[in-house]
């Protein structure tokens, strides 16, 4: 796999990003991979490289670029339960500043960048997100149904809220096929049912699951939440979804 760091022009500046892709001189479908709240780091590069190995051009933008280039936080090699609260406290201002308006402005820039890369095949893209990235993936798909054919979110952030802009209310705008792999405890059975009902009512193809024996962050091998079984299930769901929906 080839990897490169790059800068993506946006209306607010330049987003630093990582790309991973097969080094074979061919064009491959594009995948936009949204980070979790802790941001770009070796684990995300590792996951991007693994996904690229299945025949995709994977773009991982640093969504908090307005606050400075990554890394914004000095992260330990392993994020345990003791370290987590202080890290969340540091990152929360960046998270709160990342408004829906910024999400959609940036999404247009990321999708435009993928469309312009010579290594990326014509056709729709997939959008994958972890933690808060799961919500960003859904918002991106709703805003650009013409460009997004697959949405996957793993241990996603709050997909259902009581607010008027709750992500699940975007379902009628989504034409992509959707999979959310949800950690035990991240949603009540009632919330999980409401999410599925919203997608079904909108005619959105989906295969959401609550992954048994997992906790929030289960794909992140550099944290205490890591679940090898949950991560394997995540690949078992993600790779067929992309294969079904993106042109090879």
In the chain, the domains with their CATH numbers are 2-245 (3.40.50.1820)
Dihedral sign of CA atoms 212, 216, 30, 102 in order: positive
How far apart are the C-alpha atoms of 66 and 244, rounded to whole Å?
Answer: 35
Mean pLDDT, to the nearest integer, of 32-52? 97
Q: What is the pLDDT of residue 247?
A: 80
pLDDT greater than 80 at residue 30: yes
Task: Please name the residue that has the structure tokens 């014509």.
Answer: 122
Mean pLDDT, to the nearest integer, of 122-133? 97
Dihedral sign of CA atoms 234, 33, 20, 146 in order: positive
pLDDT greater than 90 at residue 38: yes
Q: What is the pLDDT of residue 40?
A: 95
Q: What is the pLDDT of residue 89?
A: 96
Q: What is the mean pLDDT of the chain?
A: 97
Mean pLDDT, to the nearest integer, of 167-196? 97
pLDDT greater than 70 at residue 248: no
């Amino acid at each position: 796999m080839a990897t490169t760091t790059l800068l993506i022009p946006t209306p607010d500046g330049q987003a630093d990003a990582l790309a991973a892709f097969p080094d074979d001189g061919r064009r491959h479908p594009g995948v936009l991979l949204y980070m979790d709240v802790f941001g770009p780091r070796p684990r995300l590069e590792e996951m991007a490289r693994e996904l690229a190995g299945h025949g995709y051009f994977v773009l991982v933008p640093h969504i908090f670029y307005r606050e400075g280039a990554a890394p914004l936080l000095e992260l330990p090699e392993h994020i345990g339960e003791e370290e987590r609260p202080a890290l969340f406290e540091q990152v929360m201002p960046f998270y709160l500043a990342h408004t829906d308006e910024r999400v959609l402005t940036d999404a247009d820039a990321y999708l435009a960048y993928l469309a312009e890369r010579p290594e990326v095949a014509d056709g729709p893209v997939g959008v994958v997100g972890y933690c808060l990235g799961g919500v960003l993936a859904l918002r991106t798909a709703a805003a650009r149904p013409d460009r997004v054919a697959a949405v996957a979110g793993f241990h996603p952030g709050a997909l259902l809220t009581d607010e008027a802009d709750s992500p699940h209310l975007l379902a009628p705008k989504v034409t992509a096929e959707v999979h959310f792999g949800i950690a035990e405890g991240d949603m009540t059975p009632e919330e999980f049912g409401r999410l599925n009902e919203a997608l079904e009512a909108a005619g959105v193809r989906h295969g959401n699951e609550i992954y048994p024996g997992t906790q929030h962050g289960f794909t992140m091998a550099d944290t205490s939440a890591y679940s090898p079984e949950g991560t394997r299930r995540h690949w078992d769901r993600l790779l067929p979804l992309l294969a079904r929906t993106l042109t090879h």
